[in-house]
Amino acid sequence: MSEPQSLPLAGVRVVEFTHMVMGPTCGMILGDLGAEVIKVEPIGGDNTRRLLGSGAGFFPMFNRNKKSLAVDTKDPRGREVVLRLVATADVFSENFKTGTMGRLGLDYPALSALNPRLVYVSHKGFLPGPYEHRTALDEVVQMMGGLAYMTGPEGRPLRAGSSVNDIMGGMFGAIGALAALAQRAQTGRGQEVKSALFENNVFLVAQHMMQYAVTGEAAAPMPSRISAWGIYDVFTVKDGEQIFIAVVSDTQWTVFCDAFGLADLKADARLATNNQRVRARGWLMPRLREHLSGFGTAHVAQTFETHGLPYAPITRPQDLFDDPHLLATGALAPVEIAPGTCGAAERVTTRMPLLPLTLDGRRLPLRAAPPTLGEHTDLLLEQLGYTAGEVAALREAGVVGAATATSSPGGSEATA
């Protein structure tokens, strides 16, 4: 499946005006599926390229398998370049503030008039309604959408430890694009697709909404919730190390007790069923914590592994680069990140996670590293019919950026 033409979206062209995480995620998914994704950037580049701190991973992660075209869209000549490109596109994706694309003459009515088959995907903070004028960020909607309340302890709302709404919002944008492409195959016409952070967040907490609807009881924040399972928690064991373990059925309870020498608890009629163990957590959990504190994490993990019981080490994100399962299954693809990306002083050789799915038993490949700014400008302009002299004139006028040397996942000449 490494050949581009064998991928599901081979032959589909996507033009994206995106930055940060939400929009780029949509393009990354479509690119991973085989689409040709062209990232249109201002002459100075997408500002996400320069983010530091917690934003330093945004650009390298969500802009692989893309081409970069640097162009000044405020200049009529630059806008003409974009319009020529859109005329050849199947999908247009953007995630700028409402009204931005309209001021550039690149909103859905304008582009669909130019290309009626175009699928136009907008990623916003809110779907149309009373909130749509607000500026939204992932953390903003986590706070107002109930997710931060559910994640933190009582009285201490806490955002989730990843850009969950941005990433999933981009994913739903991609799903919408795929649905619109499928419908276009029947109707011959494109359509506008909208995905939004707030509505995505509401979807994430919908199970808690339904819990209240069904039971009449409000869902408690995760740290203080009443678990559905008797044993389903993080345990601190020998030498202060931690491990998550779960015992979620009556059969597992029997196996667990036998494995850890807890014959008295196994025989206790008050603990015969999972629901009884849930009600007994007040005295049962301290007993189990004391008993397991004498075992090391390796022993606990091996015992759970041997008996087929659910468990998990407490892993930091950087530890996943060496995860044996990810390495053995090809889930981490080698990649080189260009110097200057998000503060990198020199070229970075690393690995990045692929999409979490297989098609016909194979992972979708990394075909190209995140592009350098304007890397494909000359190639794309040539494809659009510009002569070498016209390209040189546009560059001299500052309408398009200079193309840089091509690169690939391994740093050699690009083939994508």
Phi, psi of 359 (to 5 degrees): -120, 125
Q: What is the pLDDT of residue 413?
A: 28
pLDDT by residue (tens digit) across 121-172?
999 999 999 999 999 999 999 999 999 999 999 999 999 999 999 999 999 9
pLDDT band with cut points at 50, 70 and 90 for residue 43: very high
Q: What is the pLDDT of residue 227?
A: 83
pLDDT band with cut points at 50, 70 and 90 for residue 405: low
Residue with tokens 């309408």: 399
Q: What is the pLDDT of residue 414?
A: 28
Token code pair at residue 108? 């859905």
Kindly write down the DSSP assignment for every residue of 311-374, as one continuous string: EEE---GGGGGG-HHHHHHT-EEEEEEPTTGGG-SS-EEEEEEPPS-EETTEEPP--SPPPPTT
pLDDT band with cut points at 50, 70 and 90 for residue 328: very high
* Rounded Cα gap, residues 252 and 254, in angstroms: 5
pLDDT by residue (tens digit) across 281-296?
999 999 999 999 999 9
Domains of the chain from N-terminus onward: 4-204+323-396 (3.40.50.10540), 227-313 (3.30.1540.10)
Q: Is the pLDDT of residue 411 over 50?
A: no
* Rounded Cα gap, residues 260 and 254, in angstroms: 10
The region, left, alpha or beta by phi > 0 then psi within -120 to 50, assigned to residue 65 is left
Q: What is the pLDDT of residue 223?
A: 86
pLDDT by residue (tens digit) across 189-205?
999 999 999 999 999 99
List Cα–Cα distances, 227 to 23, 222, 281, 282, in angstroms: 36, 9, 9, 12
* Rounded Cα gap, residues 336 and 270, in angstroms: 58
Token code pair at residue 203? 């979807």
Task: Indicate the helix (H) or strand (E) that contains 208.
Answer: helix 206-215
pLDDT by residue (tens digit) across 2-42?
466 699 999 999 999 999 999 999 999 999 999 999 999 99
Predicted TM-score (pTM) of this structure: 0.92
pLDDT by residue (tens digit) across 81-130?
999 999 999 999 999 999 999 999 999 999 999 999 999 999 999 999 99
How does the average pLDDT of the chain come out, rounded? Answer: 94
